A and B are shown apart, each in its own frame.
Chain A
Amino acid sequence: MTGQVLYAQLLYGGSGILLVLLGLWSFLVHGPLLRKLIAINLMGAGVFHILVAIGYRGIDTPPDPVPHALVLTGIVVAVSATALALAFGKRLDQDDD
């Protein structure tokens, strides 16, 4: 593995870890549903970042397609869960009126 690849992987993976931590912090600290939901999605973005970083193999080498496919699957799952959570939240708001 060349230094350039490792550097990029650590930069992107490190940012991913940072996103996970920010999301986790927000999830633990903030009460409102929307903030918790954004926090979860932020964590998800972080994990996907890490997976993409794992798949990177250098400028001239084709990336590892497996983590990319995992990320695509993960995104769809995250979108679905977010949509359901928002519908739950909307239902609760309607009850408040």
Chain B
Amino acid sequence: MIRPLEHIIIPIGLIAVGGLLGWSFFLAVTGDTGERLAAVALARVPDSGVSNPVTSVLLNFRAYDTLLEFAVLLAALLGIWSLGAADTGFQPAASVLDGMVAGFVPLLILSAGYMLWVGAYAPGGAFQAGALLGSAGVMLALAGHRNAGLPSEGRLRILVALGVFVCAMTGLLLMVAGDGFLTYPPGLAKWLILLIETAATLAIGATLAAAYLGGRPTAHPTSGETT
């Protein structure tokens, strides 16, 4: 059966929208914009403390965006926690899966550390590293570890808010020191970026794994049924 709204009116409307979007996009990319921000960004990469341009943008030129983005992650997790406790989780894995997880998790953590370090020079960085850490947590949760390898609630709270705190504090301290908010002094840029990225990696990894559990960590991490 043909429903007029769903099958005729909306598709026709969307085709019109698509035409408009396509036309605007064509005009936008063929217009006389030159290099956009590419040239100025690439020219300043050597002053940013890292040599990977994307990391330069994320953690130096537009570090303030990244600070708010850590806040977004935290807000989502706190929202999930406010809805109730996590489920009881999956049943413990049998030996094959368990053995595989035991091998993969350390490998993922190691890869996360590598990603974090290499982000200064090549594709990689805190987000990729955090995603790997988070996937290690998801793997543990799937194999029946109730808290996905995450620490107790008190420590977990510190861990998930660490990205916001370290980034905001770095910004404020630099401002108090007279450099300006999130303005890294030339010699320190590399290390401050590494500091923020390390905190961010831990926070992102913990947040992703905790979000996967879908609720507040329970008081007794290894035992008991809760509703």
Are A and B close enough to touch in the complex, i.e. CB under 8 Å? yes
- Across the interface, which residues of A come within 8 angstroms of B73, CB to CB? 76, 80
Bound CA span A64–B41, Å:
8
Asked if A6 lies at the interface with its beta carbon under 8 angstroms from chain B, I say yes
Q: How many A-B residue pairs have CB under 8 A?
A: 112
Asked if B135 lies at the interface with its beta carbon under 8 angstroms from chain A, I say no
Asked if A28 lies at the interface with its beta carbon under 8 angstroms from chain B, I say yes
Asked if B94 lies at the interface with its beta carbon under 8 angstroms from chain A, I say no
**CB nearest neighbor in B for A16:** B25
Does the CB pair A87–B57 fall under 8 Å?
A: no
Does the CB pair B57–A65 fall under 8 Å?
A: yes
Does the CB pair A21–B56 fall under 8 Å?
A: no
Bound CA span A54–B30, Å:
11
Does the CB pair B25–A17 fall under 8 Å?
A: yes
Does the CB pair A86–B38 fall under 8 Å?
A: no
Does the CB pair B69–A76 fall under 8 Å?
A: yes
Asked if B225 lies at the interface with its beta carbon under 8 angstroms from chain A, I say no
State the main secondary structure of chain B at its contact with A: helix
- Across the interface, which residues of A come within 8 angstroms of B75, CB to CB? 80
- Across the interface, which residues of A come within 8 angstroms of B56, CB to CB? 65
Does the CB pair B83–A72 fall under 8 Å?
A: no
Does the CB pair A62–B42 fall under 8 Å?
A: yes
Q: Binary interface profile of A, 1-17, with partner B (CB < 8 Å = 1, else 0)?
A: 10000100110011001
CB distance from A34 to the nearest CB of B (A): 14
Bound CA span A53–B6, Å:
31
Does the CB pair A29–B21 fall under 8 Å?
A: no
- Across the interface, which residues of B come within 8 angstroms of A13, CB to CB? 25, 29
Bound CA span A86–B76, Å:
11
- Across the interface, which residues of A come within 8 angstroms of B30, CB to CB? 1, 6
Does the CB pair A66–B127 fall under 8 Å?
A: no
Query: What are 16 A-B pairs at a CB distance below 8 A?
Result: A17-B18, A21-B17, A25-B11, A57-B38, A64-B36, A66-B41, A66-B62, A72-B127, A73-B69, A76-B72, A76-B127, A81-B72, A86-B214, A87-B83, A87-B211, A90-B214
Known: A14-B25, A68-B54. 4 other contacts (CB 8 A): A29-B10, A65-B45, A66-B57, A84-B76
Residues on B lying within 8 angstroms of A by beta carbon are: 6, 10-11, 14-15, 17-18, 21-22, 25-26, 29-30, 35-38, 41-42, 45, 53-54, 56-58, 61-62, 65-66, 69, 72-73, 75-77, 79-80, 83-84, 127, 204, 208, 211-212, 214-215
